[in-house]
Structure 1
Amino acid sequence: MKHILDNVTWNALNTGNRDLSLGNENVRFFHKEVSPFAGMPKITNENFNTLHAYCKATRRFNLFIGKEIIIPDDWKIIRKSNIWQMVCNREIGKFSPQNTIQPLTQNHVEEMVTLTQQTHPGPFEKETILFGHYEGIFEHNKLTHIAG
């Protein structure tokens, strides 16, 4: 059996975050205002064509693919990065923040977008908050940390 992280985006698009996604059994993607991620159960030209048919020509997508692929001619790679996916299988100690960790809500979106634009942890749009379960740390009434 494959590990759920072997195709992390596809699994996210089909499980807990399915309500935020569009597509079918071969291609799914998040609403543009939520996230640029798309996924496929298998990387095929047919699935790329299906994704292309769903979207406007100017829509950009992020795909996590665990190997080198050749993309169809009507797609263009804008940026390619190696990403290390790591899982810690042991306890590494207790975290004791100096400031309280608190849930982040729609009221915090402007601060969340500002922080992610400064730190570039990955895509964060105005509707990304819809994924839910975001928490933050504030220092001197300013959001300085986000997890979620």
Structure 2
Amino acid sequence: MENKLKNPVWYSLCETHHKFLLNYDEVKFYDPSICPFGAFTNTSKTVEALNEYSKLTDKFFLVSENKIPTYDKDKIRLDKKIDGCQMVLENLTDFDITEEVIPLTENHIDQIYNLVWLVMPGYYRKRTFDMGKYFGIFKDNKLVAVTGQRMQTDDFIEVSAVVTHPEYTRKGFAKQLSQHVTKEILNDGKHPILHTNKGNHAIQLYEKLGYRYTRDMNWWYFHKK
């Protein structure tokens, strides 16, 4: 599993998410309607791959632990490099879940999309829902917190989209949903992992749940010119 963790997008597209794969000669991308993420093994191959993928979507990411992608500056603009990190569950800290956690379905796709874009705009697509299971907490007849699953291989599943509506924070919703999704992954016989930005205050929450830092994982955010 260690090699897969070093390049999680790549191996997700090789294994569980192969049906979403767009392959560009040593560069792999998700279908942009699912998720605008790609990965690579050879930096010399990313120039042409980015040019081709940019014909399908205007904004997209390459994800890498330490390799630096190359790109055609006449056609592609690097918007920013997001310094991220990867965390893997070491020992789950168990606690009581007091809220009603609801499995989310196709009927909730618009609500998930709107909530994620309210809090973390930029990457989520409506069909990102197809990447894994999603769970939510409802208050006042509306979805106010959500957590789901994103990248997946034969060995691990990523916890993702840990989002709470700004009017409902500091109630423990993210903690409870993160634990619930983590347990779902363990019940499926896989290792829970997650990715977040360095310095994110949520890292403390994940550490309390039993996650530990494993490595840097950087997100290169590109725009088509």
TM range (shorter): 0.7 to 0.9
Deviation above 3 Å: which 4+ runs of structure 1? none
Indicate the residue corresponding to 2:132 in structure 1. 132
- Structure 1 residue ranges without an equivalent (≥5): none
Question: Shift in Å at residue 111 of structure 1?
Answer: 0.6
- Residue deviations 1:82-111 (CA, integer Å, cap 9, x gap): 11211230121224132x212111110111
2:90 is the alignment partner of 1:92: no
Contact persistence 2:137–2:144 (CA under 8 A): yes
Q: How many residues align?
A: 146
| Match in the other structure for 1:62 | 61
Pair 1:77–1:14, CA change in 2 (3 A): same
Structure 1 residue 119 and structure 2 residue 124: aligned? no
| TM-aligned CA deviation for residue 59 of structure 1 | 3.0
User: What is the identity percentage for the equivalent residue pairs of Structure 1 and Structure 2?
Assistant: 29
| Aligned residues of 2:50 and 2:71 also touching (Cα < 8 A) | no
Unaligned runs of 5+ in 2: 149-225
Deviations 1:39-78 (A, max 9, x none): 12x1322243134235418532211112262523343211
- Within 5 Å, give how 1:1-148 maps onto structure 2: 2-23=2-23, 26-40=26-40, 42-56=41-55, 59-67=58-66, 69=68, 71-74=70-73, 75-98=76-99, 100-120=100-120, 123-148=123-148
Q: 1:25 to 1:48 in 2, by over 3 A?
A: same
CA distance in 1, matches of 2:112, 2:132: 13
Q: 1:39 to 1:53 in 2, by over 3 A?
A: same
Alpha carbons of structure 1 residues 97 and 121: separation in structure 2 relative to 1, 3 Å? farther
Query: Equivalents in 2 of 1:122, 1:5: separation in Å?
Result: 24
Cα distance change of structure 1 residues 14 and 97 upon mapping to structure 2, 3 Å threshold: farther
Quick check: 2:46–2:70 contact (8 Å CA) kept in 1?
A: no
Bigger RCO (CA 8 Å, 6+ sep): 2
**1:114 Cα deviation from its structure 2 partner:** 1.0
Match of 1:145, SS state, is strand
Equivalent AA in structure 2 for residue 20 of structure 1: F
For 2:44 and 2:88, the matched residues in 1 are separated by 31
- Could you say what secondary structure the match of 2:136 adopts? strand
Q: TM-score normalized by structure 1?
A: 0.83
